[in-house]
Chain A
Amino acid sequence: MARILSILVGLFFTAALAWSFGKGAYTQITEPPAVTVEHEFHLLPKHVRFASDGAFGKFDRQQLQRGFQVYKEVCSACHSLSHVAFRDLAQLGYSEAEVKAIAAGFQVAGTDPNTGEANMRPGTPTDYFPKPFANDIAARAANNNAVPPDLSLMTKARHDGAAYVYSLLTGFQAQPAALLKEFPDAKTPNGLHYNPYFANLNLAMAPPLTSEGQVTYGDGTKATVDQMSKDVSAFLIWTAEPSLEKRKQTGWAVLGFLLFATILGYMSYRNIWAGKKH
């Protein structure tokens, strides 16, 4: 009885699935889905290497400082970095005085101690990077209806994060003629910018890094667009995970110990079972 019932239930589910499959297959044959422009022209991020890659990777602090400079002088006009505090910059190799000076260079929201009114005051090391816009509505209004995302976690919040940021920054280009030929309707709308590394190919951000020497590096590195993009991507790896180096170092110590302990455990297991067939 139970078996008959179970077979009936089984037939019910399999029949429903077969019906769904059949209809789906039929539609697939009679009306194959149109190829989309994204499918044809979207590109995966370029291959690019960073000092922090790999199991032994460490940050190149010189590069992080350059990347920070790019963020400060270019990106920070529109993009917030809200999870990072100025004090964190000490990890990039800045001295306490330098951190203080950097913080003081930013105006953060404060309260007048006498009147209680909201005002702006110079930042201190404990402050977080200020947001360039008061809220999303203001950000939208100032940026052609698109909100510039926060960058603190950007390299964790996209597949292949740092390579994606680098590719996006260096990927702006004119729309390929082949695209317009194949998809005449897919012309980049006014106010948007074609970039094959962006999921839907057109993004609101104008190319932010456009000319060599847009920032002047203190360490004499030539500020090519490629260099600046790479540096700021490296900086964003750090902002997304300041503990990256400690994580990998701890990891090696833990794995080393566990390997040793596991081998001991295995030998002990063999000892205890010695002479016991199983």
Chain B
Amino acid sequence: MAEEDGVRRRDFINIAAVSAAGVAGVGVVIPLVSQMSASADVLAASSTEVDISSIKPGQAIKAVFRKQPVFVRNLTPKEIAEANAVDAATLRDPQTLGERTKEGKENWLITMGVCTHLGCVPLGAGEGEAKGEFGGYFCPCHGSSYDTAARIRKGPAPKNLEVPEYEFASDTVVKIG
């Protein structure tokens, strides 16, 4: 009996030692994996302030947010009306213009300039660029067309252009991120 207990205790110690080695292995893997995620300097640069005072109705600018383009567009009343005329329920990604802009600032459409299909930059923000058949943005890579609220209307993209988190720091400055 005593002999058997002795054997069991020894087995237990061996198993415990191997388990401790396993725990050490996991402990080593954690920093090795986490070192690849975004570093502090990258994360710190993840908010941008944009001066919108010089954007006239009908114009748009490309700002940079997290190393990607963001479109800041001052919609004309006509474009707002076009966007509101569509029944949101019929859309692929149903959203109204109101849901995609800030209250009282409906003319400021701020979206990522990254096509939701495979990440190309759609045309339409620059002066004279093709805006596609719905008057918003047009992605030349695979032909996705967005309307004046940057909602997907035609082509392979599954979602509307993403609206990043932002707020109006003042009437002329938008803080994105």
Contacts and interface: CB of A to CB of B under 8 A. Distances in A.
Direct interface between A and B, CB < 8 A: yes
Interface of A: 85, 87, 113, 125-126, 254, 257-258, 260-261, 264-265, 267-268, 271-272, 274
B13 A271 contact: yes
A264 B10 contact: no
Nearest to B11: A271
A267 B14 CA distance: 8
Given A267-B13, A268-B17, A271-B13, A257 B44 contact: no
A261 B41 contact: no
B20 A265 contact: yes
Given A257-B24, A261-B20, A268 B45 contact: no
B23 A257 contact: yes
B141 interface: no
Contacts of B20: 257, 260-261, 264-265
B120 interface: no
Most chain B CB neighbours (cut-off 10 Å) among A254, A258, A264, A272: A264
A112 to B, nearest CB: 12
Contact of B13 (A85, A257, A264): A264
A264 B45 contact: no
Q: Is the interface of A mostly helix, strand, loop or mixed?
A: helix
Contacts of B27: 254, 257
Given A261-B23, A264-B17, A268-B18, 12 more contacts: A113-B51, A257-B20, A257-B24, A257-B27, A258-B24, A261-B21, A261-B24, A264-B16, A267-B13, A267-B17, A268-B13, A268-B14
Nearest to A265: B17
A85 B23 contact: no
Contact of A126 (B17, B44, B51): B44
Shortest 5 CB-CB contacts between residues of A and residues of B:
A268-B17, A261-B20, A264-B17, A271-B10, A268-B14
B48 to A, nearest CB: 10
A85 B43 CA distance: 13
B47 to A, nearest CB: 9
Interface in B19-54: 20-21, 23-24, 27, 40-41, 44-45, 51
30 contacts: A85-B41, A85-B44, A87-B40, A113-B51, A125-B44, A126-B41, A126-B44, A126-B45, A254-B27, A257-B23, A257-B24, A257-B27, A258-B24, A261-B17, A261-B20, A261-B21, A261-B23, A264-B20, A265-B17, A265-B20, A265-B21, A267-B13, A267-B17, A268-B13, A268-B16, A271-B10, A271-B13, A271-B14, A272-B14, A274-B10
A267 B11 CA distance: 11
B33 to A, nearest CB: 16
B14 A87 contact: no
B45 to A, nearest CB: 5
A271 B10 CA distance: 6
A87 B45 CA distance: 10
B85 to A, nearest CB: 36
A272 B45 CA distance: 56
Nearest to A262: B20
B61 to A, nearest CB: 10
Contacts of A254: 27
B29 to A, nearest CB: 14
Contacts of B40: 87
A250 B44 CA distance: 24
Most chain B CB neighbours (cut-off 10 Å) among A254, A267, A274: A267
